[in-house]
Amino acid sequence: MKSTPIPASLFIRNREKLVGSLASGVLVVIMSAKRMIRSGDQFYPFRQGSDFFYLTGINLEECMLVLFPHHSEPSLREIFFIPKTTEKSELWSGPSLTQKEAESLSGIKEIRWADEADELLKLMLPEASVIYADQKEKFERDQDIAPLSPHISRLRMVKEVEEVEEIKKAVQITRAAFLKVLEMAVPGMMEYQLEAEITGEFIRRGADGHAYEPIVASGKNALILHYIQNHSMCQDGDLVLMDFGAEMNNYAADCSRTIPVNGKFSRRQLELYGAALRVFEQAVKMMKPGVIMADFHQVVGSLWEEEHLKLGLYTSSDVAAQPVMDPLWKRYYMHGTTHSMGLDVHDTFDRSQPFEPGMVLTCEPGIYIPEEGIGIRLENDILITTEGQVDLMKDIPIEAGHIEELMSCYK
């Protein structure tokens, strides 16, 4: 692990919250993610399942957590199973997690070897009134298994202090990567070369890597919302839209910025960028406890309508004649304004729930004009608090003049 492990106290509290939300007699069984074969003896990079990490803090495959909080035997109320290191596995992959290390990382006292799990489960299952699990391979076909993920998803929406700290670490590395892009960007560069600067800064500063596949979209490529090919040349006079974020201890940052390839916005680009920034600033101010996500997005759409009129994209007569269910602003702003963040860049969220303190959400208004071949998106990560909101990315340059100034310093 490159970064300092998260204190086990977080995972102890997470398990306590889960157990406290369940009825008596419940047995919880959750297994780690599997390492996926790529080809031959090669594997895709391992990424722990987010729910499993939320409860354990362990980045290891072939593990299982069993919670039976009301069992009469205290040692069977919370058990963590990990694989043994064999001579062969140690030769090829090095030593695995020891029982003592697993206890230190997770805060779980009862650590057993994975080959004991099946027999112990057989003894515990008949005593359970309800079984919660998302993977069913450990159970008989006739056993009634209830899904576990909805219970964890509700808990993950509100972040603990330690979780916010990990997101802040990811944000700081993301900031460093953006400053590196401002230093290196020049006409004639390939999009993948800018991506390489971001990746290099992530690795240099100890991030786990990218929290998601980065978007580096120059010119008309920015009109493709999930453009990840990153294979075109950045032309003089074009804008380049970047959507990227570092991952630290499995926690994500999510940032979008749009910059002029040559370091200077044209007059029209500046008009569009100014509109996006105004909408962004007003939207952030609205992110407070009690706000419903869908309502928030509709208000932001209305803000865009005002800006679109100023930009000449349609007229007030067009607005008066528009279908109620298909407003004109959606032609130039097709995606949502916000999503939850945490262990996943699109973290679990119930859209019917109002914003509340401890939630971390993005704010990402954008404008996309096919006729002009321009796409602009600005995105920061916002912590909801009792007083309103905290912009976790306020130190990442976003003002057009500031971006131009920084880019000119490097040229």
Of residues 95 and 255, which shows the higher confidence score?
A: 255
pLDDT-based confidence at residue 117 (cuts at 50, 70, 90): very high
Of residues 128 and 170, which shows the higher confidence score?
A: 170
Average pLDDT value for residue range 278-296: 98
What's the pLDDT score for residue 219?
A: 98
Which residues make Cβ contacts (< 8 Å) with residue 340, sequence separation at least 6? 157, 346, 347, 348, 349, 359, 360, 361
Same domain? 97 vs 143: yes
What's the pLDDT score for residue 204?
A: 96
- Could you tell me where the DSSP H helices lie in 185-322? 191-204, 267-285, 293-311, 316-321
Same domain? 383 vs 280: yes
Average pLDDT value for residue range 256-285: 98
In this structure, are residues 30 and 55 in contact, taking their beta carbons and an 8 Å threshold?
A: yes
SS3 344: coil
What is the Cα–Cα distance from 264 to 191, expressed in whole angstroms? 18
Digit-coded pLDDT (tens) for 58-73: 999 999 999 999 888 8
pLDDT-based confidence at residue 267 (cuts at 50, 70, 90): very high
Query: Which tokens go with 179?
Result: 């400053």
Average pLDDT value for residue range 97-125: 94
Domain that holds residue 230: 161-409
Same domain? 55 vs 193: no
Same domain? 279 vs 184: yes
Q: Give the number of other CB atoms < 10 A from CB of residue 260.
A: 23
Same domain? 277 vs 347: yes
- CATH label of the domain that carries residue 150: 3.40.350.10
What is the Cα–Cα distance from 141 to 130, expressed in whole angstroms? 15
Same domain? 132 vs 184: no
Q: How many domains would you assign to the chain?
A: 2
What's the pLDDT score for residue 324?
A: 84
Same domain? 31 vs 55: yes
Sheet holding 360-363, edge to edge: 360-363, 380-385, 388-391
- CATH label of the domain that carries residue 238: 3.90.230.10
R_g (Cα) of the chain, nearest Å = 24
**Is the pLDDT reported for residue 408 higher than 70?**
yes
DSSP state of 328: G
Active site residue ranges = 41, 226, 243, 254, 335, 339, 346, 364, 368, 377, 379
Same domain? 84 vs 151: yes
Would you say residue 88 lies in a domain? yes
Same domain? 293 vs 351: yes
Digit-coded pLDDT (tens) for 338-360: 999 999 999 999 999 999 999 99
Same domain? 150 vs 167: no
What's the pLDDT score for residue 410?
A: 75
Query: Which tokens go with 234?
Result: 């950045």
Average pLDDT value for residue range 33-41: 89
pLDDT-based confidence at residue 80 (cuts at 50, 70, 90): very high
* Averaged pLDDT of the chain: 95
Digit-coded pLDDT (tens) for 183-237: 999 999 999 999 999 999 999 999 999 999 999 999 999 999 999 999 999 999 9
Would you say residue 118 lies in a domain? yes
In this structure, are residues 194 and 219 in contact, taking their beta carbons and an 8 Å threshold?
A: no
What's the pLDDT score for residue 141?
A: 64
Average pLDDT value for residue range 168-190: 98
**Is the pLDDT reported for residue 88 higher than 90?**
no
Same domain? 122 vs 195: no
Of residues 364 and 76, which shows the higher confidence score?
A: 364
Counting residues of the chain whose pLDDT is more than 90, the rounded percentage is 84
Would you say residue 1 lies in a domain? no
pLDDT-based confidence at residue 266 (cuts at 50, 70, 90): very high
Which of 103, 130, 155 lies at the terminal end of a domain, its last residue? 155
pLDDT-based confidence at residue 113 (cuts at 50, 70, 90): very high
What's the pLDDT score for residue 345?
A: 97
36-50, 137-151, 176-190, 338-352: least confident range: 137-151
Which of 108, 140, 155 lies at the terminal end of a domain, its last residue? 155
